[in-house]
Amino acid sequence: MENFVEKYLDKVIVVVIILLVAFILNKVFDGVISRTIRHKRKKNVTTLLMFVKRIKKFVIYALAILICLTQFDVFNSFSVTILSGLGIGSVVVGLAAQESLKNFFGSVAIVLGNPYEVGDFIECVDKAVSGTVEDITMRHTIIRTINNRRVIIPNCEMNTYTIENFNYSENENVKLVDYEISYESDVDKAIKILKEEMEKLYHPNPKGRNKDVEFPKVRVLELGDDGIKLRAWVWGDNNSDVFENMYQLNYAINKRFPKEGIEIPYPHVEIVENKKSKGKK
């Protein structure tokens, strides 16, 4: 027993120190990454750091365990056998985990290619799925839809989809909103009212790439069967903001059009009473 203690006590102490150092390093890196995410300044930093945060724990502890094993002669004596078996083992593991590897390299492609990042509002055109990217793991992307549900899509599939990113390069968004007025209404007055109400909402950033766009912009879209269709270009600071502005504009127009004598056409039902049948009992 004494020989065992003398032989392995120092090694056990070294192993404990190595694992303790690995634990401290993991916590330190967690703190640094979390602080950097909170104070990020460049696009895609959050996505990249979250991805690094996921794999660094595995890397740190894997290296710590390997260093610990080298402290014992029994593992050194079998090192040649272990290394020779790694070749066969890697083939077996690779065949058994093809989908996992596809998703892992898919996540790497997403992080490096930067088609979208955490916090972006995207639409997967091929799948008719839209929402805010909540997380990008080593296996899948989590999308939070507008009704607060989570759609989880493997990263290998995300790399094959056509993605519409509403926050790519900048957040400003525009939505085309249509309104219909009757032919008896004053179209110039209706356009004037629309522009006045749009002026109360978000304006395109004068320093952004949309600084030269016309605002407020309203056009006659179509001379339809029921009335004249007008189209307004409604802007917002981001995707959520543009929808909120659209709702506010709809409310304001619904109040002002009738007050200003602008008729909004809608289906009418006329009831014709037969006078001959009226006197019959």
* 218: β partners: 232
Tell me which amino acid residue 206 is: P
Which numeric CATH code is attached to 115-165? Answer: 2.30.30.60
Q: What is the CATH number of domain 2-96?
A: 1.10.287
Question: What are the beta bridge partners of residue 144?
Answer: 132, 150
CB 153 within 8 A of CB 124: yes
Strand-pair category, 129-136 with 140-144: antiparallel
Per-residue pLDDT of the chain (281 residues; tens, 9 = 90+): 555 555 666 777 777 888 888 888 878 877 776 676 666 555 556 666 666 766 777 777 777 777 777 766 655 555 445 545 555 555 545 544 566 677 777 877 887 777 888 888 888 888 888 898 888 887 889 999 988 999 999 888 888 888 888 877 667 888 899 999 999 999 999 999 999 999 999 988 877 667 778 899 999 999 988 899 999 999 988 878 888 999 999 999 999 999 999 998 887 676 777 665 555 55
Full DSSP string of the chain: -HHHHHHHHHHHHHHHHHHHHHHHHHHHHHHHHHHHHHT--STTHHHHHHHHHHHHHHHHHHHHHHHHHTTSHHHHHTHHHHHHHHHHHHHHHHHHTHHHHHHHHHHHHHHHH-S--TT-EEEETTTTEEEEEEEE-SSEEEEE-TTS-EEEEEHHHHTTS-EEETTSS---EEEEEEEEE-TTS-HHHHHHHHHHHHHTSPPPPTTSTTTTS-SS-EEEEEE-SSSEEEEEEEEESSHHHHHHHHHHHHHHHHHHHHHTT----------PPPHHHHS--
Residues facing residue 176 across a β-bridge: 233
Q: Which residue has the tokens 């407020």?
A: 216
Q: What are the domain boundaries of the chain? A: 2-96, 115-165, 173-259
Contact 264, 257 (CB under 8 A): yes
Q: Residue 48 is which amino acid?
A: L
Architecture of domain 173-259: 2-Layer Sandwich (3.30)
